[in-house]
Structure 1
Amino acid sequence: MKERALSACLIALMLALASPFASADIERIYVVVLSHLDIGFTGSPQLVALGYKRNIDNAIFVCEREPDFKWTIETSWQLWQWLLRTRDRGQIERLRRLVLQGRISVGALPATMLSGLLGSEEVCRLPYLTWRLCRRLGIPFPKTAIQDDVPGYTDAYPQILSDAGVRYFLSGVNLFVGGGVKIPRREMPFLWQGRGGGPLLTWISEGYCEGNRWGIGIFSKWDRLEEDFLSNLRELERRGYPYEVVLVMASVGDNVDARHARGVLERVRRWNAKGRRPKVVIATPEDFFQEIERRYKGRFPTYRGDWSGAWAPYVMRAPYGRALIREAHELLPAAETLSSLLSMVSDFPYPNHDLERGWEACIEFDDHSGCTAGWPRMMTEEQVRINNWQALRMARVAYEAGRNTLEFGLSFLAEQMVADRDGVLVLNPLPFGRREAVLWRIHYRRASEGFDLVDPETGRAVPLERLSEHKAIFVADLPPFGYRRFEVRNTRPLRIKRVVEHPAGQPACIENEFFRVTVSPEGRVVSILDKVVGRELVDRRSPYEFCGLVYGSNRQLFLGGAKPIPLKGSVRFESGAVLRRIIIERKGTPFFRTEIRLYRRLK
């Protein structure tokens, strides 16, 4: 009988060793304690920023008095706000010492981003704020990037972060809104490989407050500590988790003060006092990643691509601010490129402060909270109004920084040229040549005049369409990293010609060589046909109209359930020398005007 039992045990052991996903006897649990950053979610952006002064001061206080406690500063924006408000050099030195000792860790990214909405240059610049802070404090650049809450991220992250020196990626995702990535627990951690770089050793926690479910979070019930803890251990075993160490995130909440982390510490001490396995330690993310990498390097699976799950619709609550930020995403790189070129070949004063502030405002607005009202009933109506005003100010700062520095550079460049005629200077800040539509804001001295726009290289007039007295549009072929100048000639009285080809009550349709767009008489976009591939881009089965208006409470916009509002508008169709456009006007509504343009011979 004993021989049979022993044989059965040996067979079971052999099967367990043969399986790559065999569950392991967990020896140690690493608990990462932090406060999750939500800019504008629990209070206005300024109020949140003020709170992180006390937050990090209290984290320093607890670390210095509790030798078994460690704190993680989730993002560098939190550290930046603390540093802006800290004049005591002794306090700064205490933080620096704790970071060098490994008692406080700092995340490599400035905030948790809605990465699908970021500008391409903005993504590349994400580590910049952290790098500047680390240089100022005399601490090494972080090895771990932390992104919590959002269930999906761009696969540009592995390249950008690994090039900056980051090796690890930690994320506590929220899957209750819109779903998201669901990698089996037995395949954690994994190597996240990007298209152009990486990999990052990545761990996805089931929520950044999962410590509450384990019985060790600040909202856990004391009398359920052992029951909840053992239940989660059994669940890991059931899922086939194969390693002897595991990470648990125990955030104290959204923008919650670090002093509340003592509740996590006390629960961890109570569990360890029983002398039972596994041992639980409060740690930094690096403690866990370095230990699991040391033990099991070479065993981690590899995943490639973007993560599923998106919260992008959340930002539709602030459409005007979002439009300004999208403009800033284009203006700031152009201004930065022009300023860099000019400063290398002339005495042009590089506008470093203005550009940095513009990028910082972009990052603050592009935080995953969208800088709009937070969770339902978390703020009063007055607080929401203040919050929205501050968020819009961020968007304006970013937009104006890009526009003003670009105009400053263009004015400087124009002053270096000697010309006997008025003209238009068009810049291409990209490293490749392109044909592009140019919107020209006409100087007030020329607003009431008609004229030709001439290419001095060929001596021929460029097709020019006047949209109004102060605006015109034309198409230009531009060199890489360069500019072209067009001259104003043949001044004459202004006559704006428009050809209206749309009979009332009929669908409006415009097309060029590449697309055909059809709009119903009520102003609904019913079709966008890609003529090159023969594909319809409008989902006609969707309950929402393309280019429509929806209405919902804050909760409905966040969790779903916003309702479409049927709108009726007037539609007109205009054709000119450069473009065809459909203009939809809906008087008496917040969505009062839409303009759809197709350019001739331009995709």
Structure 2
Amino acid sequence: MAFRQRCSILNQRSVAQAGRMIVVACAILCSAFPIMTRAQLQTARVNQNTIKTVYIVPTSHYDFGFVDPPDAVRERAARHLDEVIRVAESDPDFRWTIESVWQVNEWLKRAKTPTSVLPNDNIKIERLVKLIKGGRIALSSAWGSMHTDFMGEEELNRVCYDYARLKRAYGVETEMAMMDDVPGHPSTVPSVLAGSGMRYLVTGANIFINVATSLAPGKVPFYWESPDGSRVLTWVSQSQRGGYPEAMTDFYLDPYSTDPYTGKTPYEMFNPNAGKKSDLQIMEQGVAELQKRYGEAGYQYDAVMTIYAHDFVEPTNVANLERAVKLWNSKHESPKLKIATPPEFFRYIEGKYASQIPTFRGEWSGLWSEAKTQSPQISALARYVHDHTPAAETLWSAISATRGIPFPAGNTATLYDLMFTYDEHSGAGNTGWPQLNDLGKLEEQNRQYVSYMQHAEKQADFLLDRGVQLLAQPSRDEAPQSLASSNVWPLLVYNALSWQRDDLVTVAAPAAGLKVVAIRRAGSQQSIPFDIDEEGRAVFVAHNLPSVGYAMFQLETAPGQMVSTLRDAPVGSQAENKHFRLRFRPDGSVQSIIALASRQEIVNDKGELPFNQLLRVEGQEPSAIAAPVPPAIKIKRGVRMTRVTITRERSAFPLTTFTIYDDLARVELHNEIDSAKLPFAGGKSWHDSYYFAFPFALGTQDLKVLRGGQKWFDRLPDDYLPGARRDSVTTQHLIGMSDDRAFVMLAHRQAFHFVFPSYVKARPSAKGAPAEFPAMFTGKWPLREATLYSRAFRRGNQADTHDLGVTNVMTVEPGLGQLYDFDYALNAATGKFDDVAAWRLGSEFNVPLRAMYVAVPPAALERSYFGVNQPNVEIVTVKQLADTTVHGEVSANPLNPRANQVFVIRLQEFAGHAATLQVATPVKVRAAALLNLTEDRVLENVTTLSPLIVKLRPYETVTLRIEVEPEI
């Protein structure tokens, strides 16, 4: 939603606060441009006059949710496209860009006729297809305007998949992606777009808070390049009035259409004291601003593009734009205004200036994904589904290849659609925008987001649990094995990751009234040491679990109860095993954590806040969390694990545990928040923000933040795009810090957003001190200490609704309860940052081993289905080939299921080193080829099949199609 109308509906307090933020943001944005010399100023004035053509791109921006619940927006978008078709067919000069593929999906669902069994209205569909093929309507290939930095690894790979499906079904084509409102994206996006066949990216960046990139407006378009060498020609329209509505709100190229939120023209909104002006005078003022903005920034080309959009606007507005363009062009020889689509502009610029267009690499996430911390439990569910959906489809690919059972493409398609819906830029449970939302719609929106992610979690777990059971199910040619004793319970432990690993297994007793007395690996008589935790579950470390495979274990039981093996350690403040030594203060704060293998201290005991302290920030000021009872520390030691428990009775932060295992090199940290006991948010802001502080014992010289993204680690600040925001990052599984002499790795499960020191205020101002600018605008690099602030959640207790006014809100996550869990894992070492160790720690912590009791053990007591032989490459997913899914085709022989023989293996090199890779598969491969990311183009045939050999460049994503010989 653009900022201009947002300001109009804020209350007076919020306006004042927002205004202060804008002033600072303006200062920062302006400071990104160097002071011009007299000669440069003269050049800038000349450049103002070099713009001969303004390409105006009409579109409509759709927020999924925001003003209506998501399901209502789906229906609204379908009606909107009906109107686009109607207007286009009545006006031969009409041009339009469909912003998101999801809009077409929803329209197609409703493009029905009532007279057939399979009621697609092919005549209606052909009308839209004809307009797209004719170039009058451009189609963005992106599913939506996404929080791309929050998206899952494989989910981001599929951001253009639904476009590719439309291309296969209807022959429509595009080379352009558009994502609006979100002010920036991670460095993985060019790799995904270029890999999907895209050449161009348009983003209307809303910079009403902070900045996007200083490359706009002077150095756009630019080739934005990923570390793997992939690139897309990128245009950024950025503005504090929204970016994407700039043709209306910044440049006044349509003096007739009104703002959808205020009913006024944008010129009236932003120039209330200007007096009466003619339509042409309004346009002349706007075009002068356009020329000034680009000229002063040193823009070099003779054409610019400006986006003509607003929230949920209809295509009938284009008639007003056409009227305005006709008026302007009749009175002015230069610049000429031209209504167009983005590909028309890009082709012109690239055709004339390709050799002059600069290339830039870098991360410039707009960090709007922080909004998803408003609903931390829904976001935690989403993150779970990000990881476990590819795990599930890989498991079912193994089952399909080895057992001839059809791949459940419908389940995975549903899961990705649910992920996309939440990960779109409006996706979060929240308290709404002040004075915009009706209370009933807001509550329904939050219910729907909870429902989406709960359903997704259940679907992913259903696929995984049923698939694991199926691994042990005897085939028709196998005789079921009998058990030696009724006290023996077969346990199948499944590893979803593509490397052999040692990791934790946690499993309850197989039945009530039984206790586990022994654990053995199947086929071995050697007992495995194990513990019973406080919840009565057996805990042990399984060693050498096969990659994307399983190993069988046997648990022996006896009548009785599972009694914890953890016993109180001698009174003291230190816990230790062969990997770590932990020391605590009496107040429960962490004094030291030493990784004994490297002798590296993890904790900076002199940081601005103690390690793992919960920080509350009201508005811009930190405040304390009440702790009525002094914390109590208990240290317990078991057979192979040690746990430190810190309890804070009657507190909103009631529990912390640190757990170390004799057979695992990581410290696990678990925090619990009782949100029912949190202070009421309000007074200084509608929301309070909560952080866990992690000060690390690293030097500030040469300090780098290692941002674990979907495909690689960005090294910050070196890998920022020029002028990008530097206050915080959203990461996938792990964030690290390194000073080139030592490094610390922090894996995270539910939390995902991290703020750097000086960009969040950690210590309160002195009483009576003057107000300060918000820390997010005044922070700076180099960082003053090696601290990460894990933004756990943003908390609001009131909604300022449009229909009822201020209303106290019970929850923005209905049905999910009041207890928040936040889990982390830590390790450290000396030397340079180890990308492989870090990637594996993050992945293993987020995709734990899956253990399940089965009726009988399978014939093979352990088996690997897929694997790779290089540590810097992972299998992201294994799936059915996209174009083998047939929709709407009735089978002539419905009793015979179709066996899958063609699969896709997605490979990712994540450490920046070329690799020659051997890929292991469960059945013989008879043909293989490299495809583009959307699987609709063969890049190269693979000739070495036995073994299957593939080469990867540094950071490359490889999509490998294999045709297999079924095992049965």
Partners of 2:604 and 2:418 in 1: CA distance: 33
Residue 61 of structure 2: aligned partner: 36
CA shift, 1:89, in A, is 3.1
The structure with more helix, counted as a fraction of residues: 1
Q: Secondary structure at the match of 2:505?
A: strand
The Cα RMSD (Å) is: 3.2
Q: Is contact 1:178–1:311 with CA below 8 Å preserved after alignment? A: no
Larger deviation, residues 173-182 vs 515-524: 515-524
> In the superposition, relative to structure 1, how do residues 594 and 67 fare at CA in structure 2: closer, same or farther (>3 Å)?
farther
Secondary structure of residue in 1 paired with 2:541: strand
In structure 2, the residue corresponding to 1:115 is in which secondary structure?
coil
Cα gap change, 1:587 to 1:109, in 2 (>3 Å): farther
Q: TM-score, normalised by structure 2?
A: 0.55
Give the direction of change, closer, same or farther, for the CA distance of 1:536–1:585 in structure 2 (3 Å limit).
closer
Moved more, 411-420 or 165-174: 411-420
1:47 is the counterpart of 2:72: yes
**Equivalent of 2:83 in 29, 33, 58:** 58
Aligned match of 2:481 in 381, 406, 418? Answer: 418
Query: What CA distance in whole angstroms lies between the structure 1 residues aligned with 2:504 and 2:457?
Result: 21
Moved more, 348-357 or 288-297: 348-357
Q: 1:369 to 1:441 in 2, by over 3 A?
A: farther
Q: Which residue is 1:183 aligned to?
A: 215
> What displacement does 1:97 show?
0.7
**Shift in alpha-carbon separation, 1:539–1:359, aligned structure 2, 3 A:** farther
Question: Which of 642, 647, 653 pairs up with 1:580?
Answer: 642
1:321 deviation in Å? 0.5
**More deviation, 88-97/353-362:** 88-97
Q: Which residue of 625, 633, 652 maps to 1:566?
A: 625
Q: 2:185 and 2:415 mapped to 1: Cα distance?
A: 23
Partner Cα separation in structure 1 for residue 654 and residue 322 of structure 2: 55
- Partner letter of residue 291 of structure 1? Y
Bigger shift: residues 108-117 or 282-291: 108-117
Letter in structure 2 aligned against 1:243: Y
How is 1:403-482 mapped onto 2 (pairs within 5 angstroms)? 403-416=461-474, 418=481, 420=483, 421-443=488-510, 445=511, 448-467=514-533, 471-477=537-543, 478-482=545-549
Q: CA deviation at 1:586?
A: 5.8
Name the amino acid aligned to 1:69. Answer: F
> Bigger shift: 392-401 or 230-239?
230-239
Paired residue for 1:214, among 242, 251, 274? Answer: 251
The aligned amino acid for 1:576 is: G
After superposition, the Cα gap between the structure-2 partners of 1:236 and 1:567, relative to the gap in structure 1 and judged at 3 Å, is: same
Contact 1:448 1:469 survives alignment (8 Å)? no
Matched, 1:486 2:553: yes
Which aligned pairs between 1:240-279 and structure 2 lie closer than 5 A? 240-253=298-311, 255-279=312-336
Say yes or no: does 1:496 pair with 2:496.
no
Shift of the alpha carbon at 1:46?
A: 1.1
1:338 aligns with 2:395: yes
Q: 1:117 is matched with which residue: 144, 150, 162? A: 150
Larger displacement relative to structure 2 (579-588 or 456-465): 579-588
Distance of 1:485 and 1:164 partners within structure 2: 40
Distance (whole Å) between structure 1 residues aligned to residue 180 and residue 201 of structure 2? 10
Give CA-to-partner distance per residue, 1:495-533, whole Å, 9 cap, x none. 322223496xx9x66566666666766666777766755
Task: Report the Cα distance in structure 2 between the residues aligned to 1:324 and 1:18, rounded to whole angstroms.
Answer: 54
CA deviations on 1:397-449 (whole Å, 9 max, x unpaired) are 22112111001101111223735242211112222212222232443x25632
Distance 1:23 1:273, change over 3 A: closer
Cα distance change, pair 326–275 in 1 and its aligned pair in 2 (3 A): same
Deviations 1:521-579 (A, max 9, x none): 6666777766755454799437x994637477xxxxxxx64865614375544443344
Separation (CA, whole Å) in 2 of partners of 1:510 and 1:41: 49
Name the counterpart of 2:109.
Answer: 84
- Structure 1 match to 2:275: none
Q: Please say if residues 180 and 310 of structure 1, whose CA atoms lie closer than 8 Å, have aligned partners that are also in contact.
A: no
| Matched position secondary structure for 2:218 | helix
Cα offset, 1:242, TM superposition: 0.5
Instruction: Name the CA shift for 1:516/1:37 in 2 (closer, same or farther; >3 Å).
Output: farther
2:205 counterpart residue number: 173
Residue 238 in structure 1 maps to residue 264 in structure 2:
no
Query: For the residues of structure 1 that align with 2:294 and 2:43, how far apart are their CA atoms?
Result: 19
Aligned partners of 2:530 and 2:97: how far apart in 1?
58
Cα distance in 2 between the residues matched to 1:137 and 1:106: 13
Shift of residue 301 of structure 1? 1.0
2: CA distance between counterparts of 1:33 and 1:492? 72
- Once residues 62 and 293 of structure 2 are traced to their aligned partners in structure 1, the CA distance between those partners, rounded to angstroms, is 29
Q: Which residue of 1 aligns with 2:138?
A: 105
The CA deviation at 1:276 is 2.7
Whether the aligned pair in 1 keeps the contact of 2:64 and 2:421 (CA below 8 Å) is yes
Native 8 Å contact 1:191 1:201 kept in 2:
yes
Contact 1:31 1:282 in 2 (8 A): yes
Compared with structure 1, are the counterparts of its residues 429 and 77 closer, same or farther at alpha carbon in structure 2 (3 Å cutoff)? same
Contact 2:567 2:636 in 1 (8 A): yes
Counterpart pick for 1:396 among 437, 448, 454: 454
For 2:149 and 2:635, the matched residues in 1 are separated by 33
Contact 1:339 1:350 in 2 (8 A): yes
Q: 1:18 Cα shift? A: 11
Q: Which of 183, 188, 191 is the equivalent residue of 1:151?
A: 183
* CA pair 353-313 structure 1, distance change in 2 beyond 3 A: same
3-state SS in 2 of match to 1:297? helix
- Alpha-carbon distance between aligned partners in 1 of 2:516 and 2:40, rounded to the nearest angstrom: 86
CA distance in 2, matches of 1:562, 1:16: 41
- 469 and 309 in structure 1: CA distance in 2 versus 1, 3 angstrom threshold: closer
In structure 1, C-alpha distance between the alignment counterparts of 2:463 and 2:146, rounded to whole Å: 25
Equivalent in the alignment of 2:230? 198
Aligned AA for 1:214? Answer: F
State the TM-score, normalizing by the size of structure 1. Answer: 0.86
Q: 1:548 to 1:203 in 2, by over 3 A?
A: same
**Deviation of residue 132 (structure 1)?**
2.0
Q: Greater CA deviation, 516-525 or 61-70?
A: 516-525
Gaps in structure 1 of 5+ consecutive residues: 1-13, 553-559
Q: Which amino acid aligns with 1:181?
A: T
Whole-Å Cα distance in 2 between the matches of residues 265 and 521 of structure 1?
73
- Asked if the contact 1:180–1:309 (Cα under 8 Å) also holds between the matched residues in 2, the reply is yes
SS in 2 for 1:32: strand
Partners of 2:559 and 2:655 lie apart in 1 by: 32
1:254-285 Cα distance to aligned partner (Å, 9 max, x none): x3333344443333333223243112122111
Judge conservation of contact 1:524–1:548 (CA < 8 Å) in 2: no
* Change beyond 3 A, Cα 1:387–1:592: farther
Deviations 1:267-311 (A, max 9, x none): 333322324311212211111111111111121111112115422
Change (3 A) 1:361 1:599: farther
State the alpha-carbon separation in 2 of the partners of residues 57 and 231 from structure 1: 35
| Deviation digits for residues 157-188 of structure 1 (CA, Å, limit 9, x no counterpart) | 11221111011111111222243322153321
Please state how far the C-alpha of 1:343 moved relative to its aligned partner: 0.2
Does the 8 Å CA contact 2:592/2:601 hold for their aligned counterparts?
Answer: no
**Structure 1 residues 493 and 194, CA, compared in 2 at 3 Å: closer, same or farther?**
same
How many residues align? The count is 575
Give me the whole-angstrom Cα distance separating, in 2, the residues matched to 1:451 and 1:294. 74
1:67 aligns with 2:130: no
| Cα distance change, pair 220–512 in 1 and its aligned pair in 2 (3 A) | farther
Moved more, 199-208 or 518-527: 518-527
